[in-house]
Structure formats: structure tokens, C-alpha cells
């Protein structure tokens, strides 16, 4: 089969990197993953990823039949093909890593790279709930908070390739939580999975007389998954944590709606599985704070694509160009 019929899409998260071979119909034929952050340098990571991709191609008998590789990565710059100061990845924090260039050298395949949330937005636009939409915002809620902004059918990437870092919009102006980006009070510090866990620990400390299932977790750090499971059991403190998180997120969304008037804001990532615990306070915050001219015009939707599928498919779209 011709090389024009297959590409590789790579979804690089702060913790895990998933990659897969995608055909021209948008079907992920085969996929695998590697750890993202355990390497000492970006070059080491790139070589491990390249070898894993080559192995997957060989296993599927597609040598010499891959058109190229597309990558969605934290702080990925579409103009340069480099990862620039990705604060949640040790080997990229404070560094610029020319990832696309290294992978091309290692695999012999052309490689294009964009921000991971941009890749998820592309995947959602082509294969998911944003299909047919020309104006929407993708918000990825994971270890950090990422965003992909689509306006008039085009990704907004800015003159330097780094536009759309909505996770680093300041939501707490005074005495906000320190963020890995160097600022304080960023949206990411409150509404990421890490932020939710931190809020839970703060609530436990501030309300010592409130009973909670979360107090039983003493041998390891509390996670956002713990908070969700406690909420599912009717834990009032856990539900309050999500109410706080949803309110912060909803108030930030009001600002996002003001500057781009999207048809929808789509939530993607592990934390989006919190469903109504997050959505109800989020929607209330929007209803209470959005400008009247925008009221009722933007839907809040959850991605229907599974796991890293949206980002793999979105990243693969880069390779067809």
C-alpha cells in the first residue's frame, strides 16, 4: 500500500506518551505508549520515542509506507517544531528541545509538532463532538490545563506559535498558588488534577471537624481520582472541592467566551470524568457571570473520544499536510 495511506500520531502528555498508526479514514490501527518524564534529556526521550515508533511500524509491516509523524506536545511550537519550556516535564522545563528535528533524524520521516491541546482540538474537530464547528475552545484537564482555540475553522497559534495558553490565565490575583510557569494564581494551579488534589488537602486542613473519606488516605498523597471516588460516595467535602473547582473554571470560561464567542467549550482529559460534580457549579458560574450578550450561546460539552484518541488523531492530521 502507498505511503500516502498511513501516518503516525503522537500524544505527548506530562506523564505518558501515546502514539499510534492512523490510516486515511482516521482509524487507529495500532498503538503503544512510553513514559514521558523519566529521561534526563529531551534527546534521550526523543530517541526512545523514535525507536518505539519504528518498532510499531515494523510490527505492522508498514516500513516505507508511512507518510510522516505528527506530534501534540506541551508547549509545542508549530512554527519551530520545538518544545519550549514545558514546565511539567523535567527535561523540558527551562529548555528548548527541537523534538521534531531529532525525530526526523532518528526515523527518516518528516515530523510536525504542535501544542498537545491544539492536537486534541484538531482531533475533536475532525472526529468528535466539534465536527462541523468552526468556533470552539478545547480545554484539556489533566496534570496541567491546556487549551486549543479554533476560530473560523483555524487553530489560533499566534505569530510565535505559542498562542492560547489559557491554563496560565491568572484567576486569583492576590496570594494565588505558585505555578510552575513562574506566575501565581494560574487557572492550572486550581483546576488541573494536581490542583484539585491540593484543594482537597487545603479543605481537610481548614475544616478539621468535617468528616470525610479523604481523611482515611494517610499512607500516600491524595489524588483527584480519590476526590471523585469520595464524591461518588456522597462525601460532602469532596463535593465542595469540585464545587470550588467548577466555579473557578466557569468564571474563567466567561472571559474566554468574551474574547472569542465560541459555539462550544469542550472538556477533555481525566478530570472531565467528574461529570456533574464539575459541570453543575461550572455552568452556574457561567450563568451568573457571563455578559448578557453572550448568555446561552456557548455549550459546555465533554469529549466523546476515548483516552488519548483525540490527541493521537489530531496530531496525525499534521502529518497529512
What's the distance, CA 103 to chain centroid? 22
CB count within 10 Å of CB 216 equals 9
In 3D, which of 289, 7, 291 has the Cα closest to residue 123? 7
User: Which class for 10: exposed (0-12), middle (13-18), buried (19 or more C-beta within 10 A)?
Assistant: buried
Helices marked H in 6-143:
42-59, 99-107, 116-127
Is the pLDDT at 4 greater than 70? The verdict is: no
Q: Which of 94-103, 187-196, 228-237, 274-283 has the lowest mean pLDDT?
A: 274-283
How large is the average pLDDT for residues 22-29? Answer: 90
Q: Which of 39, 2, 33 is CA-nearest to residue 19?
A: 33
Using DSSP's 3-state secondary structure scheme, residue 72 falls into strand
C-alpha cell at position 168: 496560565
Residue 271: Cβ-neighbour burial (10 angstroms; 0-12, 13-18, 19+): buried
Provide the β-strand partners of residue 149. 137
pLDDT of residue 123: 86
Q: What is the pLDDT confidence band of residue 296, given thresholds at 50, 70 and 90?
A: very high
Mean pLDDT confidence for 284-305? 94
Over range 6-27, report the average pLDDT.
92
Per residue in 174-226, pLDDT (tens digit) is 999 999 888 999 999 999 999 999 999 999 999 999 999 999 998 999 999 99
pLDDT at position 251: 97
Mean pLDDT of 114-134: 89
Q: What would the mean pLDDT of 236-246 be, rounded to a whole number?
A: 96
Q: What is the pLDDT of residues 150-170, one digit of tens each?
A: 999 999 988 988 888 899 999
Look at residues 13, 47, 7 and name the one whose alpha carbon lies nearest to residue 31: 7
Q: How far apart are CA 298 and CA 135, in angstroms?
A: 10
Give CA 220 to chain center in angstroms. Answer: 25
Mean pLDDT of the chain: 92
Position 22 pLDDT exceeds 90 = yes
pLDDT > 70 fraction of the chain, expressed in percent and rounded: 98
How do residues 242-261 score in pLDDT, each as one tens digit? 999 999 999 999 999 999 99
Interior CA angle at 92 toward 88 and 98, to 5°? 140
pLDDT score recorded for residue 2: 46
pTM, entire model: 0.85
- Sorted by where each starts, the structural domains of the chain and their CATH numbers stand as 3-123+308-320 (3.30.420.40), 132-302 (3.30.420.40)
Which residues lie below 8 Å from residue 211, measured CB to CB, with a gap of 6+? 237
Q: Among 3-7, 135-139, 282-286, whose mean pLDDT is lowest?
A: 3-7
Residue 1 confidence (pLDDT): 42
Write out the DSSP string of 125-184.
Answer: HHHSTTTT-SSEEEEEESSSEEEEEEETTEE---TTS----GGGSBS--SSPPB-TTS-B
pLDDT (0 to 100) of residue 183: 93
The confidence score (pLDDT) of residue 98 equals 96
Question: In the prediction, which pLDDT does 212 show?
Answer: 96
| pLDDT confidence bin for 308, thresholds 50/70/90 | low
Check pLDDT > 50 for residue 3.
no
Residues 6+ apart with CB under 8 A from 189: 176, 177, 178, 179, 195, 198
pLDDT over 90, % of the chain: 74
pLDDT digits (tens, 9 = 90+) for 53-80: 999 999 999 998 999 999 999 889 999 9
**Alpha-carbon gap, residue 206 to 208, rounded angstroms:** 6
Query: What confidence score (pLDDT) does residue 307 get?
Result: 65
Return the exposure string of 165-177: e unless at least 16 CB atoms fall within 10 Å of the residue's CB, then b. Answer: bbbbbebeeeebb
pLDDT at position 48: 97
Residues paired with 71 in a beta bridge: 10, 113
Residue 155 CB partners (closer than 8 Å, separation 6+): 78, 114, 118, 121, 122, 148, 149
pLDDT at 16 exceeding the cut of 60: yes
Q: Which residues, at least 6 apart from 43, have a Cβ–Cβ distance to it below 8 Å?
A: 97, 102
Q: What is the largest CA-CA distance in the chain?
A: 67
Amino acid at each position: 500500500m502507498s505511503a500516502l495511506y498511513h501516518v503516525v500520531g503522537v500524544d505527548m502528555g506530562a506523564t505518558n506518551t501515546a502514539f499510534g498508526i492512523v490510516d486515511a479514514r482516521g482509524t487507529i490501527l495500532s498503538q503503544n505508549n512510553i513514559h514521558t518524564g523519566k529521561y534526563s534529556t529531551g534527546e534521550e526521550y526523543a530517541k526512545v520515542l523514535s525507536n518505539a515508533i519504528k518498532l510499531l511500524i515494523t510490527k505492522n509491516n508498514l516500513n516505507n509506507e508511512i507518510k510522516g509523524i505528527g506530534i501534540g506536545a506541551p508547549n509545542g511550537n508549530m512554527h519551530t517544531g520545538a518544545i519550549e519550556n514545558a514546565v511539567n516535564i523535567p527535561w523540558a522545563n527551562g529548555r528548548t528541545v527541537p523534538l521534531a528535528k531529532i525525530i526526523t533524524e532518528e526515523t527518516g520521516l518528516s515530523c510536525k509538532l504542535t501544542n498537545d491541546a491544539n492536537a486534541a482540538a484538531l482531533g475533536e474537530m475532525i472526529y468528535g463532538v466539534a465536527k462541523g464547528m468552526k468556533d470552539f475552545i478545547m480545554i484539556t484537564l489533566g496534570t496541567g490545563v491546556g487549551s486549543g482555540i479554533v476560530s473560523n475553522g483555524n487553530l489560533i497559534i499566534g505569530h510565535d506559535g505559542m498562542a492560547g495558553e489559557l491554563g496560565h490565565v491568572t484567576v486569583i490575583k492576590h496570594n494565588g498558588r505558585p505555578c510552575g510557569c513562574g506566575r501565581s494564581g494560574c487557572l492550572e494551579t486550581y483546576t488541573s488534577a494536581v490542583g484539585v488534589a491540593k484543594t482537597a488537602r487545603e479543605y481537610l486542613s481548614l475544616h478539621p471537624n468535617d468528616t470525610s473519606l479523604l481523611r482515611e488516605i494517610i499512607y500516600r498523597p491524595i489524588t483527584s481520582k480519590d476526590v471523585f471516588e469520595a464524591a461518588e460516595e456522597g462525601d460532602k467535602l469532596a463535593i465542595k472541592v469540585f464545587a470550588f473547582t467548577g466555579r473557578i473554571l466557569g468564571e474563567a470560561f466567561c472571559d474566554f467566551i468574551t474574547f472569542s464567542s465560541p459555539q462550544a467549550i469542550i472538556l477533555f482529559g481525566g478530570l472531565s470524568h467528574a461529570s456533574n460534580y464539575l459541570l453543575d457549579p461550572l455552568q452556574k458560574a457561567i450563568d451568573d457571570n457571563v455578559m448578557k450578550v453572550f448568555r446561552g450561546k456557548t455549550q459546555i460539552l465533554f469529549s466523546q473520544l476515548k483516552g488519548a484518541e483525540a490527541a493521537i488523531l489530531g496530531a496525525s492530521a499534521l502529518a497529512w499536510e
